[in-house]
Amino acid sequence: MNFKRTIEFIRDIYQTKDFIPLHEPRFTGNEKKYVEQCIDSTFVSSVGEFVGQFEDAVADFTGAAFGIATVNGTAALHTALHLVSAGPGDEIITQALTFVATCNAISYTGARPVFVDVERESMSLCPKKLKDFLATHAEVTQKGCINKNTRSQIKAVVIMHTFGMPGKVKEILDICNQYKLKLIEDAAESLGSYNGAEHTGTEGYLGVLSFNGNKVITTGGGGMILTQSEEIARKAKHLTTTAKVPHKWEYNHDSLGFNYRLPNLNAAMGLAQMENLPLFLEKKRQLAHTYRDFFSGEAATFMEEPKGSRANYWLNTLLMEDRRQRDQFLELTNQQGIMTRPAWTLMSELPMYRDMQHGELGVSRWLEDRIVNIPSSVIL
Ligand SMILES: *Cc1c(COP(=O)(O)O)cnc(C)c1O
């Protein structure tokens, strides 16, 4: 791969000699207007009408029946795990190739993560490896799905749609149903990504989005739980708003809740961002196609959306020949003011998760050695 030509190409795309970030937000719509309205109203905090409007806008866009806004994506994941009653002594299966928040949220409940491999095509949880893992290690009993090695109950599976590439939700749902497991979709990176007509995060028991500053749209900090069930939505809202029992003046709380509600100020920004989401997605797709065409003549492989799916191309991903080439490319681009990043260190390598059970992780390791994400901000 010709590094020099690649660097020139990226500079040419972004039309700048300055530093090029990996992913920066765009505020070209009603952000200032809505935030100012919000400030003028004095309702900047836990009460106000932007929260509901933002939730409705995201629910409408994704096709989820309900959206429950939270302070960030990690809080949304933590809440989602509570809603599948994950707790001390339980196990939750997820992928080793993910952002640390996925595993941290599992650990916050007292449950332990168990790692299964991802597939090459979507970089997301592999249905075949999940099936093999469960066939070897799990049995379905009256109590639910039991890990034969630890005798712990496996409560749920968390799939993460890596860098916005839709994972194989349907196949994984079938396996989950067979083993009496709930499916949570960590769709933090995949707002605007679909399997067929289904938006990621809407097919599992619950889905989770993030609106952190580096995601497709941002609220500064924020997240959302997606669900098709009114009952789950009600529980999620209750749990994220200190489990307060509605009353005209009394302060009554019927269970241990969280203060995870998204402030109205952040929702105001989010509503404006949602208005521009279709435009952002269109521009991201154009950028991905520009990269795809350029890299078709290079040795590095450009990751394309799996057949039958539509990716948001949140981050554009290259697969280098090996770890040595990956590191050389990272070194040179970052030194030259072009921000590129590798994949996360596998969760199974981190000190707090090193001792957790895992299946065979060959594809995760192979990808970890080769992934480089290149600048992917929307160009308007
Ligand atoms: C961004 C992200 C989250 C959570 O994000 P917050 O920063 O807490 O909003 C969770 N999982 C994945 C995979 C992410 O990329």
Mean pLDDT of 200-218: 98
189 neighbors 162 (Cβ within 8 angstroms): yes
117 ligand 1 Cβ < 6 A: no
Residue 373 clears pLDDT 90, i.e. is over it = yes
Mean pLDDT of 243-257: 96
Predicted confidence at residue 345, as pLDDT, reads 98
Predicted confidence at residue 280, as pLDDT, reads 98
Going from the Cα of 255 to the center of ligand 1, the distance in angstroms, rounded, reads: 26
Domains of the chain: 3-23+277-346+358-374 (3.90.1150.10), 31-276 (3.40.640.10)
| Residue 189, Ramachandran bin (φ over 0: left; ψ between -120 and 50: alpha; else beta) | alpha
DSSP line for 230-256? HHHHHHHHHHHBTTBPP-SS---B-S-
Kindly compute the dihedral angle of the four CA atoms of residues 183, 190, 44, 53, in this order, to the nearest 10 degrees.
-80
Residue 298 clears pLDDT 90, i.e. is over it = no
32: its two tokens:
């200032």
| Band (10; pLDDT cuts 50, 70, 90) | very high
Could you tell me the CA-to-CA distances from 13 to 264, 369, 379 in Å, in that order?
36, 27, 9
* Residues written for the chain: 380
70 ligand 1 Cβ < 6 A: no
Distance of alpha carbon 368 from alpha carbon 350, whole angstroms: 14
Closest atom of ligand 1 to 74 CA is 8
| Band (94; pLDDT cuts 50, 70, 90) | very high
pTM, rounded to two decimals? 0.98
Distance of alpha carbon 270 from alpha carbon 58, whole angstroms: 9
102 ligand 1 Cβ < 6 A: yes
pLDDT per position as a tens digit, 193-206: 999 999 999 999 99
91 ligand 1 Cβ < 6 A: no
Sign of CA dihedral 83, 85, 88, 92: negative
Mean pLDDT of 62-85: 98
DSSP line for 84-111? TT--TT-EEEEESSS-HHHHHHHHHTT-
Counting Cβ atoms within 10 Å, is residue 144 exposed (0-12), middle (13-18) or buried (19+)? middle
224 ligand 1 Cβ < 6 A: no
Helix (H) or strand (E) holding 221: none
Residue 300 clears pLDDT 90, i.e. is over it = no
Sign of CA dihedral 243, 247, 251, 252: negative
Q: Which of 165, 163, 150, 161 lies closest to 183 in space, CA to CA?
A: 161
Site to substitute for ligand 1 among 186, 218, 373, most atoms within 8 A of C-beta: 186
| Band (299; pLDDT cuts 50, 70, 90) | confident
212 ligand 1 Cβ < 6 A: yes
74 ligand 1 Cβ < 6 A: yes
Distance of alpha carbon 333 from alpha carbon 52, whole angstroms: 42
Going from the Cα of 5 to the center of ligand 1, the distance in angstroms, rounded, reads: 33
Could you tell me the CA-to-CA distances from 22 to 17, 123, 342 in Å, in that order?
15, 19, 11
pLDDT per position as a tens digit, 121-141: 999 999 999 999 999 999 999
Closest atom of ligand 1 to 210 CA is 9
Distance of alpha carbon 274 from alpha carbon 279, whole angstroms: 10
